[in-house]
Amino acid sequence: MLKILRIKTTGKVEAKDITDEVQKAIKGVEARLLNIYTPHTTCGLVINEDADPDVMKDIIEGLERLAPKNYPYKHREGNADAHIKSTITGCSLLIPVSEGRLMLGQWQGIFLMEFDGPRERKVYLTFI
């Protein structure tokens, strides 16, 4: 079973917390695992702390240090840094589900990482 979320991002670079949307989408669904997948090349999916927003700011800044925007990349579209950051963060997650709840830790949230926005991004939820 597949559900598709359409997530609008508002910034060029943004960590968008999608935990509530994902939790709503799995309500009433019988599954033990949830695969979350995004079919794009300049965004990513991560699980990390959603309590202190500075954590995601530090992660975005850390990725910027690894793949700075201003570097003489070969890719002519001008968004090579976004492709690299997307590769580092990855395009899918696998999360255990129990009794209709995501088995996330107390401080964990699910983030769509936008690296070349704003855009509308698709997120596929596959229940296993």
Q: How far is the CB of 83 from Zn ion (least distance, A)?
A: 6
Of 17 and 64, nearer to Zn ion (C-beta) is: 64
Q: Which residue has the tokens 């899918």?
A: 92
Q: Does residue 20 touch Zn ion according to CB under 5 A?
A: no
Q: Which of 79, 85, 110, 121 binds Zn ion (CB under 5 A)?
A: 79
Whole-angstrom distance, CA of residue 21 vs CA of residue 27: 10
Contact 25, 3 (CB under 8 A): yes
Binding mask 58-77 for Zn ion (x = CB under 5 A): -------------------x
CB atoms within 10 A of CB 4: 10
* Nearest position to Zn ion, beta carbon: 77
Q: How far is the CB of 115 from Zn ion (least distance, A)?
A: 10
Length of the chain, please?
128
- For Zn ion, the binding residues in 29-58 under the rule CB under 5 A are none
The answer to whether the peptide bond before residue 39 is cis (omega within 30 degrees of 0) is no
Contact 100, 34 (CB under 8 A): no
Whole-angstrom distance, CA of residue 88 vs CA of residue 86: 5
Q: How far is the CB of 15 from Zn ion (least distance, A)?
A: 20
Of 42 and 56, nearer to Zn ion (C-beta) is: 42
Task: Using CB under 5 A, list all residues that contact Zn ion.
Answer: 77, 79
